Amino acid sequence: MIGVIISIKEDTAELKELVKTLGHEIKGEFVQIRGRATPYYVGKGKIEEIKEYVKNNNIEIAFVNDPLRPSQWYNMEKILQIPVYDRLRIILEIFAKRASRKEAQLQVKLAQLEYEKPFVRELFRRIKEGERAGFLGGGEYVVADYYEMIKRQTKKIRRELKRIREERELKRRKRREKGFYLVSIAGYTNAGKSSLLKYLTGEKVVVEERVFSTLSTKTCRLFGGKSVPILLTDTVGFIKDLPHWLVDAFHSTLEEIYLADVVILLIDITDDIEEMKIKAFTSLKEIKAIKREPNIIIALNKIDLIEEKEIEKKRKIIEDLLGYTCIPISAKTGKNVEKLIEEIYRVLPSPARFRVRLPKKISPDFLRWIEESASVNYIEMDGCLNVEVVCSQRIKNKIIGKCEKVGGEVIVYEN
């Protein structure tokens, strides 16, 4: 569809990117700098100007660079006579296009229903006062029935999401019981989180240079982990100025950050420095709001796209701003990713180390269980089976107990 952008602030770059992601064409742009929005979002004279432009240029849709109050949306649609999408509705449309897994689809639907509630209430109020409802309206009973349907659907989706969360928590508990540490990759949309997950795990993760390419979490094991088993999880990207109800709809991805042993905050180093500062500060604030005293590692991604001098300049600015050491990396080429892996292991608790002397005729299934739960450094035969084990502290006692139960002799090393 052919549309126009309407804004009361100068920066429309993000909105243009969002509209482009939806596949619409932008033909015109109207910016009126204002301290506060009016009943028409922009001034009366400006909305009349936009109305004429829409009429004379076959404009089919208007995109607004802010969330709209229901009354503003109603007034704008009434005067422009075309659909009006505010920033939140555009984001939700993108979410709906991106959602592929059942949980993501449910989360998006929940967010859409929460978004629609105040707008449907506004339609209902206007109809009761005798006004025509506009593009999304119907009669009084139709709108009232639709509102009741929203409430029923919301309740049903919340129940289903609760069931999915409980299943995930069960899986997470089993992983912890097996000695896995959990690492989440967080950051703004398009920072390269899926690319980093793909590089670190060797898994076939879909990597796309577009906003919100990841809507549901994906968990994979760290490829070639050296001492303790680590699971990495990609999360949905942060984006500026989202309301709390929209963030709540994507509870599961925030849950991965809250329950992680380590959070990797990924920042796109190709952004201009002011944009980097805003995203870095906001992301860190979001993570700390979700998880108290988190173990955070900050990585500056996409260093393959800029010069070394610029990398160092931006690294220093972000380190001074956040008070954290930053690791410049390229998830695409793998440059400095080993340094990132070393930092993950440094931040995690020191692993337990011990040697187990097992009977020679030990079950292969038992050995396989140890290998899945820990790193086995070497195995040698001298009448018995000697196994040097490195594992997380949380599973040490479980492995030792099982080894002793089958007749093993355990020697624990001092860390």
Is the pLDDT higher at 394 or at 118? 118
- Which one of 3.30.70.600, 3.30.300.130, 3.90.1300.10, 3.40.50.880 gives the CATH number of domain 351-411? 3.30.70.600
Q: Say how far apart CA 111 and CA 292 lie, in whole Å.
A: 26
- Give the highest mean pLDDT range of 178-187, 227-236, 268-277, 352-361: 268-277
At 163, the pLDDT band (50, 70, 90 cuts) reads very high
Mean pLDDT, residues 225-239 taken together: 73
Q: Is 113 helix (H, G, I), strand (E, B) or coil?
A: helix
Q: Say how far apart CA 283 and CA 91 lie, in whole Å.
A: 18
Give me the percent of the chain exceeding a pLDDT of 90: 42
Quote the pLDDT of residue 205. 46
At 206, the pLDDT band (50, 70, 90 cuts) reads very low
CATH superfamily of 179-347: P-loop containing nucleotide triphosphate hydrolases (3.40.50.300)
Non-local CB neighbours of 69 within 8 Å, separated by 6+ positions = 37
∠ at Cα 216 (213, 218), nearest 5°? 95
Q: Say how far apart CA 288 and CA 192 lie, in whole Å.
A: 21
Q: Could you tell me the residue ranges of all domains in the chain?
A: 2-85, 99-161, 179-347, 351-411
Write down the mean pLDDT value for the chain.
Answer: 84
pLDDT tens track for 310-361: 999 999 999 999 999 999 999 999 999 999 999 998 998 888 889 888 887 8
Non-local CB neighbours of 328 within 8 Å, separated by 6+ positions = 269, 299, 300, 303, 311, 315, 336
Cβ proximity of 246 and 115 under 8 Å:
yes
Half-sphere exposure of 22 (CA within 13 A, CB side): 24
Is the Cα torsion angle 152, 156, 157, 159 positive or negative in sign? positive
Residue 235 clears pLDDT 60, i.e. is over it: yes
List Cα–Cα distances, 228 to 133, 180, 258, 370, 414, in angstroms.
61, 7, 21, 12, 17
Is the pLDDT higher at 58 or at 194? 58
Give the pair of three-digit tokens for residue 116.
């629609």
Quote the pLDDT of residue 19. 93
The gap from C-alpha 311 to its chain's centroid, in whole angstroms, comes to 25
Mean pLDDT, residues 282-295 taken together: 80
Q: Is 383 left (phi over 0), alpha (psi -120 to 50) or beta?
A: left
Q: Which has the closest alpha carbon to 220: 204, 231, 207, 211? A: 231
Quote the pLDDT of residue 266. 94
List Cα–Cα distances, 344 to 188, 222, 225, 321, 370, in angstroms.
20, 11, 11, 22, 23
Give me the percent of the chain exceeding a pLDDT of 70: 85
Q: Which residue has the tokens 């432009």?
A: 53
Give the pair of three-digit tokens for residue 414.
């001092």
CATH architecture of 2-85: 3-Layer(aba) Sandwich (3.40)
Backbone φ, ψ for residue 263 (5° rounding): -115, 125
Residue 164 clears pLDDT 70, i.e. is over it: yes
Q: Which of 2-16, 125-139, 382-396 has the weakest average pLDDT? A: 125-139
The gap from C-alpha 82 to its chain's centroid, in whole angstroms, comes to 33
Quote the pLDDT of residue 395. 86
Residue 110 clears pLDDT 70, i.e. is over it: yes
Mean pLDDT, residues 145-169 taken together: 90
Quote the pLDDT of residue 215. 44
Q: Which of 22-31, 121-130, 330-339 has the weakest average pLDDT? A: 121-130
Q: Which has the closest alpha carbon to 226: 333, 338, 332, 325? A: 338
Is the pLDDT higher at 122 or at 42? 42
Is the pLDDT higher at 152 or at 34? 152
b/e per residue 362-383 (b: at least 16 CB within 10 A): beeeeeeebeebbbeeeeeeee
Quote the pLDDT of residue 139. 58
